[in-house]
Chains A and B, each alone.
Chain A
Amino acid sequence: MKKIAAINGSPKPSGSATSKFIELLSGLTQSEIATYQALKGLSQEDIEQILESDCLVIAFPMYVDALPAPLIKALESIELAEAKTTGSRPIVYAISNCGFFEASQNSTVLEMVENFAIAAGLPWGYGLGIGCGAVAASQLAPKGPAAYVYKAIKSMAAAISLNATQRENVFESARIPRVAYKIIGNLSFRLDARKSGAQKSINDKPHISQ
């Protein structure tokens, strides 16, 4: 059985869309994936375990078009340790998700993970960019609006079993009309604001005198 490590790069300690994608990948690879939270930082022992794995899945939400800050720190610590070891080298795969509709908006941040793999001297598998991240995570099933995201994660599980490297990145989104996604998304922000009594101040501009 393959030894698979994952880094969850979500700034949220629990309940993230990222954790759902890792769980599904774990189920589909029939492996218990050792998951490390970037938020907590990686210990020397964590890094040793990661570098002894056959593959490393770096899963995260896109933040400001790039890697969330704690994940940058985690990747730097792996790069630094990798320079000192001569052992096996896990193949790096990436799963990025964004709240935007278009999965292709993950293309730049996936380049960053590939750049990390190059800098750390690790083989690069490929990246999966997911659009409508929260919807896709909540509807992950072989059928329904996130069926193609499910299939893309299934393909990644197959790629991992084959030790596939240097594949083209894959982009998938929930299959719902963009206009519906935008309306529902904007409405959900309004409902959340109402719950915290901020429905009237949601467009406030606190940094300028009005």
Chain B
Amino acid sequence: MKAALLFDKGSEQIAGIAASAVGEAGWSAELVPLCGRGLNPCLGCFQCWTKTPGLCINTGDSANLIAEKLINSDAAVLLSESKYGGYSYETKSFLDRMIPVISPFMEIVDGEMHHEMRYSSFPYLIAIGHGFKTHKEAQTFIALADRNAKNMRPLKHFAIAEQDTALIPGKLAGILSKELLK
């Protein structure tokens, strides 16, 4: 089982330790930095849905390559500093560029309108946030992870809102070894 570990600048220090923990849980981990050269923000053109379906037309960076890694992983781990209960600028620039991996078409899921899936399956989604200023921000983050899962439709999804970054690798390994290797 293969996990893609996507991380922003604020999570650089724990990404390596998290990757080791993933290995100890019996998974292989690939570290995918969203910082450094970074990804350009989404242009809002929606051509990834109607002109080059499934691919972003903004090809000057590695967004399409990261999307390919994501889709071909068993689990996608988003390791991010949180801003206002959402993701950091870097992580959100990445997520905004990932809409080509879902379909433009709408369907009704659990009584609400959501996107159809483009691929027959989506990797398990594990959203990990840290750096919350208030308890309310942490609650917003958990709600966001649930909403994201309704559109991306992984078979299972998990959210960890954890102030103490030292606890994150252990919690992640726990999910991978106890919840997902059954």
Which positions in A face B, CB cutoff 8 Å? 10-12, 16, 39, 61, 63-70, 72-73, 75-76, 100-102, 105, 108-109, 111-113, 115-116, 118-119, 178, 182, 185-186, 189, 192-193, 195-196, 198, 201-208
Contact = CB atoms under 8 A, between A and B. Distances in A.
A64 B50 contact: no
B69 to A, nearest CB: 9
A105 B119 contact: no
A123 B100 CA distance: 37
Interface in B129-182: 133-134, 136-137, 140, 143-144, 147-148, 151
Contacts of B72: 207-208
A65 B45 CA distance: 18
B68 interface: yes
A11 B86 contact: no
Given A39-B41, A109-B86, A193-B49, 8 more contacts: A65-B148, A69-B96, A75-B84, A108-B143, A118-B133, A189-B50, A196-B47, A207-B72
Nearest to B67: A207
B50 to A, nearest CB: 4
Interface string B14-52: 000000000000000000000000000111111101111
A110 B144 CA distance: 11
B146 to A, nearest CB: 8
Chain B contact patch, size range:
35 or more
B1 interface: no
Nearest to A68: B96
Chain B residues touching A, majority SS: mixed
B118 A205 contact: yes
Contact of A69 (B41, B107, B113): B41
Interface of B: 41-47, 49-55, 67-68, 71-72, 83-89, 92-93, 95-96, 98-99, 101, 103-108, 112-114, 118-119, 133-134, 136-137, 140, 143-144, 147-148, 151
Contacts of A203: 53, 103, 118
Given A10-B44, A100-B106, A108-B144, A198 B52 contact: yes
A113 B84 CA distance: 7
A76 B52 contact: no
Given A69-B42, A118-B134, A193 B51 contact: yes
B96 A204 contact: no
Given A100-B106, A196-B47, A205 B119 contact: yes
A74 to B, nearest CB: 10
Contact of B92 (A67, A105, A115, A207): A67
Given A68-B96, A119-B84, A189 B136 contact: no
B112 A105 contact: yes
A208 B41 contact: no
Contacts of A204: 53-54
B42 A111 contact: no
A192 B96 contact: no
B50 A196 contact: yes
A186 B68 CA distance: 25
A12 B47 CA distance: 13
A166 B44 CA distance: 32
